[in-house]
Structure 1
Amino acid sequence: MATKRKDKSRVVLKTGEVQRKDGTYQFSWQDSQMKRRFVYARTLDDLREKEKRIQKDKCDGIKTEARYTTIDKLFDLWANMKRGLKNNTFENYKYMYNTFVRPVIGSKRISTLKKSDIKKYYNYLVDERNLKPSTIDNIHTVLHQVLQIAVDDDFIRNNPSDNVLRELKKAHCFQSEKRRALTKPEQELFLNFLKTHPVYEHWYPVFAVMIGTGLRVGEVTGLRWCDIDMESGMIDVNHTLVYYDHRTEGSKSGCYFNVNTTKTPASMRQVPMLGFVKEAFEHEKQKQEDLGLHCEVTIDGYTDFIFINRFGQAQHQATLNKAIRRIIRDCNDEQFLHSDEPDVLLPHFSCHSLRHTFTTRMCEAGVNIKVIQDALGHSDISTTLNIYADVTKEMKAEEFKGLDSYFKV
């Protein structure tokens, strides 16, 4: 009969249990890969609590490797498996992880990761790093997907990042910043200033096209002359131009352009030209002929871009937004020269605000919601409806302002 092993206190030890020379305890077992694993504890009671958790993990199908797997290792697995993302989006996700997650909690083992750890980490991003809600959204998108792999592969039972972002937004009273469209007077001031100002008139065509089509900035800058049909008055949106920092191994590093597919399949569309949009294209063509300008760049086989700079290179969003900031400054300065209290001033806005402006004018004109969705290239009509609801709310408030006199007795 085998002799039962005991510790120094004469307590019988179970299979796998050992008391070490320093008085601490060790438990060993084989995982599903037949690899021997070990856990340690100062007391036998603590060791047996750990054994219970190990046994529960076995019963629930949780893999032993989870005890040794870090968030960084899971991210590397996620990055190797991730497919279906545009390269610029993928590069942005990797940048977010490597900049904000890896240095802070990347080395943490997922087996010890709790919901409170994720909450504490997100609070750190808000309180100490002073990150904007949109940046934390991007970080959460990556981190949640990485931790979901751990759930799917039976490393952990639940995703500890579930609902944490929603709770964080409530706790910090985050308000999603709604993009403001230009009002009709602001739009008229903006376009008239561009038309008549000798320094900024060359910007009129590109911004007029943005306001009159609702195209995304990458769709506008990616337009080629062969994508527009002046006779039928149609614009064929079939690709987008992106400018970003390339970090992928095997590709040329640095910031440069690529041609991508449209944001979603619904973004592949044809948009009719309004009269002033057609005139803007004609104005751009005439200007380039007068100056002897022509496209000097080929990007992923695409060339003959409509909107180019003075060197014949493609325009990109940063340049356009910088131009808008200068236009706002000088336009408002000019308004103050004419009056101490101008009736209209240009607000702060960006290229994407012009897309929102187009949508607002469509809603104000009573255009069918499905037509608006198709023109904007929204894959989900709820996106269009949200904008429509905001616009109609503003219109209702404006209409009610004049009703008071009608109800007075």
Structure 2
Amino acid sequence: MASYDQISKNNWRYRISLGKNTETGKYEYISKTGFKRKSDAKHQAEMIERQLRNGDYIAPSSSTFKQVAEDWIKQYANDVKVSSVRAREKAIQHAIQHFNTKPIQTIKKHDYQRFVDDMSIQYSKNYVDSIVASTNMIFKYAYDMKLIRVLPIEGIKRPKKKVSVEELEDSEIHKKFLEKDELFQFLEVAKNHHSPQNSFEVFTTLAYTGMRAGELLALKWSDIDFENNIISITKTYYNPNNNKKHYQILTPKTESSIGKISVDPHVIQLLKYYKVNVQDTWKNELYVDNNFVFTDVNGYPLVIKKLSIWIQAIMKKTDITNKHISTHSFRHTHCALLIEAGVHIKEIQERLRHKDINTTMNIYAKITNSYKKDASQKFSKLMENVSKELF
């Protein structure tokens, strides 16, 4: 039961006993002053007592959004890979910067909507998805910890970003994968006009398998079945700081990422030749031999930044223009060429080890120009007789 006291004129207080704290042995209370009338204090006290009975009372807290976010990321780090933590940390920095020392209990739905709107103006849809998903986790954590009564994230609307004609044209021009003839030109330069002795092997393997760059750099010779032309994917390379001596070999992103890839026998022979005639010649007393396939001359796995530098150097020696090629582009290239070869979408999903076929379908939308032309030619041939009659 609550008790009520008049502290001074127009200033009433309610006081609710919570009983004795078993740990401290002291009695605890919830109290509040500042009510003009006793009836006002009573109304508030009865609401608090009802919340206590229902188990949904939220004690006043001065915890800031930043403090709660930092607590959440520590807990989150206990159950996931370091690469996932790194991605979440990057995403929530935007929310921390926006809300910072604002008490989390004072953040309302309209505050969060303003934040989402602001992010949607500044960044791409995919990146905003990551920011919003990560920030939502913080609020859900606060809700579970009984720091907030209501989730401000519910009912938030994502503004539809209007795309200009220039942006549409730009997205068509700057494709992120190589056509078949462009891939040939790229690999020809890597083989004959690029000084690193294993760049041709690196990019050929990426293009012919569709594996992720992290999976490629984690490959060990024991992962390659030379007899059956199969490469096993069981791990991924993680090195956000690109320090060749400080890297981690982690389990793949998802269970579906683990698998075996059938590889063109020519690629297997290329790797076998590279091992004997290139990598083995580097082995001396300074060579760190951990059985990795793609290493520098000292035996350390190549860093992804190095591959990116190689890509830019090779691209400058080709006639390929208006392309933004990255290590991941070879995965998209592999997918596009599989589509051009007529491989069924389900087989492509299994080969690329996509957990969700929608991911494969999204890449399908980036199909190569040559395949589009081929489809048009096939349709024209099919409709040839009809066209002659009509046109």
Pair 157,73 (structure 1): closer, same or farther in 2 beyond 3 Å: same
Map of 1:136 onto structure 2: 128
Q: Does 1:326 align with 2:317?
A: no
Q: SS at the partner of 2:247?
A: strand
Paired residue type of 2:134: V
Map of 2:212 onto structure 1: 216
Q: Tell me the distance in 2 between the aligned counterparts of 1:168 and 1:38.
A: 40
CA deviation map 1:13-62 (0-9, x unaligned): x94354447x6554443469774334454755986786576467446643
Map of 1:231 onto structure 2: 227
**What are the ranges of 5 or more consecutive residues in structure 2 without an aligned counterpart?**
22-26
What pairs with 1:280-299 in structure 2 (closer than 5 Å)? 280-289=270-279, 291-293=281-283, 296-297=287-288
Q: Does 1:120 align with 2:114?
A: yes
Q: SS at the partner of 1:37?
A: strand
CA deviation map 1:277-334 (0-9, x unaligned): 2243134224425743479347xxxx211111233321121111121112112223xx
Paired residue type of 2:185: L
Q: Tell me the distance in 1 between the aligned counterparts of 2:265 and 2:83.
A: 35
Contact in 1 for aligned 2:5/2:14 (Cα 8 Å): yes
Q: Does 1:261 align with 2:251?
A: yes
Map of 1:147 onto structure 2: 139
Q: Tell me the distance in 1 between the aligned counterparts of 2:180 and 2:61.
A: 61
Q: Tell me the distance in 2 between the aligned counterparts of 1:350 and 1:73.
A: 37
Larger mean Cα displacement after TM superposition, 111-120 or 214-223? 111-120
Larger mean Cα displacement after TM superposition, 142-151 or 287-296? 287-296
- Residue of structure 1 aligned with 2:361, choices 378, 385, 404: 385
- Residue of structure 2 aligned with 1:92, choices 84, 87, 91: 87
Map of 1:36 onto structure 2: 29
Map of 2:69 onto structure 1: 75
Contact in 1 for aligned 2:201/2:270 (Cα 8 Å): yes
Contact in 1 for aligned 2:231/2:261 (Cα 8 Å): yes
Contact in 2 for aligned 1:212/1:276 (Cα 8 Å): no
What pairs with 1:233-382 in structure 2 (closer than 5 Å)? 233-244=229-240, 256-289=246-279, 291-293=281-283, 296-297=287-288, 303-332=290-319, 345=321, 347-382=323-358
Q: Tell me the distance in 1 between the aligned counterparts of 2:343 and 2:90.
A: 41
Map of 1:109 onto structure 2: 103
Pair 41,373 (structure 1): closer, same or farther in 2 beyond 3 Å: same
Q: Tell me the distance in 1 between the aligned counterparts of 2:326 and 2:273.
A: 23
- Residue of structure 1 aligned with 2:152, choices 156, 160, 165: 160
Pair 398,220 (structure 1): closer, same or farther in 2 beyond 3 Å: same
Q: SS at the partner of 1:331?
A: coil
Q: How far is the alpha carbon of 1:141 from its aligned partner?
A: 2.5
Q: How far is the alpha carbon of 1:257 from its aligned partner?
A: 0.5
Larger mean Cα displacement after TM superposition, 226-235 or 253-262? 253-262
Q: Tell me the distance in 2 between the aligned counterparts of 1:257 and 1:289.
A: 20
Q: SS at the partner of 1:235?
A: strand
Percent identical pairs in the alignment equals 23
Question: TM-score normalised to the size of structure 2?
Answer: 0.78
Contact in 1 for aligned 2:206/2:213 (Cα 8 Å): yes
Q: Does 1:16 align with 2:4?
A: yes
Map of 2:24 onto structure 1: none
Q: How far is the alpha carbon of 1:220 from its aligned partner?
A: 0.3
Larger mean Cα displacement after TM superposition, 49-58 or 347-356? 49-58
Q: How far is the alpha carbon of 1:215 from its aligned partner?
A: 0.7
Contact in 2 for aligned 1:71/1:110 (Cα 8 Å): yes
CA deviation map 1:46-101 (0-9, x unaligned): 8678657646744664332254444344334433433431012113323543x433
Question: TM-score normalised to the size of structure 1?
Answer: 0.75
Paired residue type of 1:384: T
Q: How far is the alpha carbon of 1:119 from its aligned partner?
A: 1.9
Q: Tell me the distance in 1 between the aligned counterparts of 2:143 and 2:301.
A: 45
Count of matched residue pairs: 369
Map of 1:250 onto structure 2: none
Paired residue type of 1:91: R
CA deviation map 1:325-345 (0-9, x unaligned): 12112223xxxxxxxxxxx54
Q: Tell me the distance in 2 between the aligned counterparts of 1:380 and 1:322.
A: 31
Paired residue type of 2:73: A
Q: Tell me the distance in 1 between the aligned counterparts of 2:48 and 2:161.
A: 36
